[in-house]
Structure formats: structure tokens, C-alpha cells
């Protein structure tokens, strides 16, 4: 049986989900600002002739960052304990958090000042741990998670590309070794020649060691051109995988939002997949008008969360909340907007363009009936109000 207990405030404050509360959003911004400030201070402290970096302002900034990040570590650990699964004990939940990548980064981020007191080279360790704090931003950015997921999924193509690169390295270095070993002291062994191969295959070309024979230079040109193609192979694998993973995550995020809208509860999995591919996410801050009366309507909106007011020109605006939709009248009647809809709170909406709506309704006539019925009801209410 699913628990109906309210989620503790600390758990909601530190939530990493895609739908944070206003408090959680403010807390994210605070921690991100602290991490950025701390990282900049630690980088500047390595500049010996910079008075600001060696003086009291930098020390105070570091102390404030240390205090806030220690507090964040305590909050994250508390949230892990409070938000644990029912079958887990408090100690097990805390250890699970501490062993997780995020828990480890949170712990290391809170160490710089402690390391300066406990270690023999305090300045060096303080700088190392201070710069490691930057990894805390990965908690609020999916970039590293996506990269790891892409590498795991594309591991076999990447292994093949790596094999080809290593083969090219061995073949090019061995070939140049046999060509120039007797006349060029820089290439007196295959390991020594590998440095040239790496620099040439990557098209860096440092120029510290170069072939001097005509055949060696010809080989260098061929290796340089092959290097462009060889490094384009893993780059294209990662780029394609990254784009596919982003599309997959966007699809899943939209799917979750669609599932939260009561209007779509009656749809089967195929219909939800169809509508998910058509919908786009739209966030609206409080006070913004989403649509205005008299405008040409080219899309309709579904409310995932938030409160909006629809003003039809009467005395009292109609309130719209989670699960409601609006903007359908102008699309169904091919007319202009009949109401102005304004956000009363921060809202998360899903947008469906007119052409996509018509395409979807062709395969889901029952949804079209519900939308048409609601539109007619709103028109009747608007007519009654204007009398």
C-alpha cells in the first residue's frame, strides 16, 4: 500500500527532480553560487602576487563557503535518511548516501578547511578539495550522467574505435622507426617514435621531433590525414549517442508530465507515446499572460501544475489548475482567442500545436469529443455571462 504521509520539507528542499518547488529552486541557486565563488577563490589563491586572493576577503569568502557547504552536506544526509525506503534503516540509508557519487562529492566539498588543519601541505590539499567542489554542480546538471550513460551504451562501438586507433598508433610508429632509425636519433626505438605518432594522429604536430627523410615525411602526411578520420569516428559515436540520450530523457520527462495530467489518464500506452512526441514543455512565471483575447490561436495548453485565471470579460475570472486545458476554442472554431489566461503562480504547461492536435484527434476521436464538449460548455458559460 502506498504511503500517504507528506514529504518532509528537507526532502523537498534538496530534491533533484525536474519539478522543484520555489524553495528548492532558490536553494539550488544558492549552492551553485557558493560553489562557483569557492572555485574562483581557490583558483585565484594560486596567484601569489594577487593581493585579494591572499588577503582577508578571500579567507572570509572561503569560510562562508565552507560553512554553507558543511550545512548542505548535513541537509543532503538528513534528506537521504528521511526519504529512505521503508525497509531501510537510518544507518543503512546514510551509508548508501555517503557511498554514492553525490554523497562522496558532498563530503569532499566540505573538507578544504579541515584538510588545512590536518594535513602537512594544507595549501595544496585545500586547493585540490576546493576545486573538486565544482563537481557538486553535476547534481543539478544531467551532463555527466548522460555522458556515462552514453559510454555504457556505446561501449562496443567505442572499443572498436579504440582498437583502430591503437592499431594506427602501432603501425605508424613502427613504420617510421624502420624508415629513420639509423639516421634520426629521435626515432631510435618504437616507444620513442610513438610520441611522434600520437602528435601526428591527433593533428597537433608539436614539431619537437620530425622525420627528415622524404619517405618519412610522406608517411607523416598520410598519418596526419588518417588521424582526422580516426578521431572523427569516436567523436561521431559519442555525439550521436549524446543526442539520442537527450531525446530519450526528454521523451521520458514529457511522458511523466503527461501521466500527471488527469485528462490523459484514459489513454493507452500507444496513445500516450503518440501525444508525448507532439507535446512541448513550457514554464510560465507568475503574472505572465499565456494567451490574450483577440489573438490568433495556433496551439492549446495542458496544465501539469500551477494556477491560472481565464478572463472571458465577465466579472470573475475562471480558475484553471492541474489537469485542466485551455486554448482549444480558437483551434476548434478556427477563430481568435476568446479569453485572456494569466498565470497566478509558477506554472508548468504542455503545448500542443494546432496541426499536431488535428493529427492526434484523427486517431483518438474520444479525446476530440471531450475537448469539443468542454469548449462548447465554456462558450455557453461565456454567453450566459455576457447576457
Q: What is the DSSP string of 147-159?
A: HHHHHHHTHHHHH
Q: What is the pLDDT of residue 298?
A: 84
- State the cell numbers at 342: 494569466
Angle formed at CA 346 by CA 342 and CA 347, multiple of 5 degrees? 70
Is beta strand 347-353 parallel, antiparallel or unpaired with respect to 289-291? Answer: unpaired
Which domains are delineated in the chain? 9-140 (1.20.120.350), 155-247 (1.10.287.70), 263-386 (2.60.120.10)
What pTM does this model have?
0.62
* Helix residue ranges, H only, the chain: 9-13, 22-44, 51-54, 56-82, 90-99, 101-109, 112-118, 122-132, 143-153, 155-180, 190-201, 214-260, 269-278, 328-333, 354-363, 365-386
Q: What is the pLDDT of residue 123?
A: 56
> What gap in Å lies between CA 241 and CA 157, rounded to an integer?
11
Q: What is the pLDDT of residue 279?
A: 84
> What gap in Å lies between CA 60 and CA 33, rounded to an integer?
15
H-run or E-run covering 284: strand 280-284
Please, what's the largest Cα pairwise distance for the chain? 103
- The dihedral region occupied by 316, where left means phi > 0, alpha psi between -120 and 50, and beta the remainder, is beta
pLDDT digits (tens, 9 = 90+) for 166-213: 999 999 999 999 999 889 898 989 998 999 999 888 877 777 788 999
- Contacts of residue 62, defined as CB under 8 A and 6 or more positions apart, other chains included, come to 38, 41, 42, 112, 113, 130
CA nearest to 301, candidates 279, 285, 317: 279
Q: What is the pLDDT of residue 178?
A: 93
CA nearest to 297, candidates 219, 256, 222, 353: 353
> What gap in Å lies between CA 341 and CA 282, rounded to an integer?
14
Q: What is the pLDDT of residue 85?
A: 73
Residues written for the chain? 387
Q: End-to-end CA distance of the chain, in Å?
A: 51
pLDDT digits (tens, 9 = 90+) for 268-294: 777 777 778 888 888 888 889 999 888
Helix H, strand E, coil C: the string for 208-262 is CCCCCCHHHHHHHHHHHHHHHHHHHHHHHHHHHHHHHHHHHHHHHHHHHHHHHCH
- The dihedral region occupied by 50, where left means phi > 0, alpha psi between -120 and 50, and beta the remainder, is beta
Q: What is the pLDDT of residue 118?
A: 47
CA nearest to 236, candidates 157, 167, 170: 157
For 285, phi then psi, to 5°, come to -75, 160
CA nearest to 174, candidates 223, 227, 221, 228: 223
- State the cell numbers at 200: 601526428
Q: What is the pLDDT of residue 40?
A: 83
Intervals of the chain under pLDDT 50? 1-4, 117-122, 386-387
Amino acid at each position: 500500500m502506498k504511503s500517504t504521509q507528506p514529504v518532509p520539507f528537507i526532502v523537498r528542499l534538496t530534491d533533484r527532480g525536474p519539478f522543484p518547488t520555489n524553495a528548492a529552486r532558490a536553494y539550488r541557486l544558492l549552492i551553485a553560487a557558493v560553489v562557483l565563488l569557492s572555485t574562483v577563490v581557490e583558483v585565484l589563491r594560486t596567484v601569489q602576487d594577487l593581493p585579494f586572493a591572499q588577503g582577508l576577503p578571500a579567507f572570509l569568502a572561503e569560510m562562508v563557503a565552507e560553512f554553507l557547504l558543511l550545512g548542505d552536506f548535513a541537509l543532503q544526509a538528513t534528506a537521504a535518511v528521511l526519504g529512505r525506503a521503508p525497509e531501510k534503516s537510518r544507518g543503512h540509508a546514510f551509508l548508501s548516501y555517503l557511498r554514492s557519487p553525490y554523497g562522496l562529492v558532498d563530503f569532499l566539498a566540505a573538507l578544504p578547511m579541515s584538510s588545512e588543519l590536518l594535513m602537512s601541505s594544507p595549501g595544496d590539499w585545500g586547493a585540490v578539495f576546493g576545486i573538486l567542489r565544482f563537481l557538486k554542480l553535476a547534481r543539478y546538471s544531467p551532463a555527466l550522467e548522460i555522458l556515462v550513460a552514453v559510454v555504457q551504451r556505446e561501449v562496443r562501438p567505442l572499443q572498436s574505435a579504440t582498437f583502430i586507433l591503437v592499431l594506427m598508433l602501432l603501425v605508424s610508429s613502427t613504420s617510421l622507426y624502420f624508415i629513420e632509425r639509423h639516421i634520426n636519433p629521435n626515432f631510435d626505438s618504437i616507444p620513442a617514435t610513438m610520441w611522434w605518432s600520437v602528435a601526428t594522429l591527433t593533428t597537433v604536430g608539436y614539431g619537437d621531433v620530425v622525420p627528415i627523410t622524404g619517405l618519412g615525411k610522406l608517411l607523416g602526411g598520410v598519418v596526419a590525414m588518417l588521424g582526422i578520420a580516426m578521431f572523427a569516428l569516436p567523436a561521431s559515436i559519442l555525439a550521436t549517442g549524446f543526442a539520442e540520450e537527450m531525446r530519450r530523457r526528454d521523451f521520458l520527462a514529457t511522458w511523466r508530465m503527461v501521466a500527471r495530467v488527469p485528462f490523459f489518464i484514459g489513454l493507452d500506452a500507444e496513445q500516450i507515446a503518440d501525444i508525448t512526441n507532439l507535446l512541448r514543455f513550457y514554464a510560465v512565471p507568475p503574472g505572465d499572460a499565456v494567451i490574450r483575447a483577440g489573438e490568433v490561436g495556433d496551439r492549446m495548453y495542458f496544465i501539469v501544475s500551477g494556477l491560472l485565471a481565464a478572463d472571458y470579460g465577465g466579472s470573475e475570472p475562471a480558475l484553471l489548475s492541474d489537469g485542466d486545458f485551455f486554448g482549444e476554442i480558437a483551434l476548434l472554431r478556427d477563430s481568435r482567442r476568446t479569453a485572456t489566461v494569466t498565470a497566478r503562480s509558477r506554472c508548468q504547461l504542455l503545448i500542443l500545436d494546432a496541426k499536431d492536435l488535428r493529427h492526434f484527434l484523427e486517431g483518438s476521436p474520444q479525446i476530440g469529443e471531450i475537448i469539443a464538449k468542454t469548449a462548447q460548455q465554456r462558450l455557453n458559460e461565456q454567453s450566459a455571462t455576457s447576457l
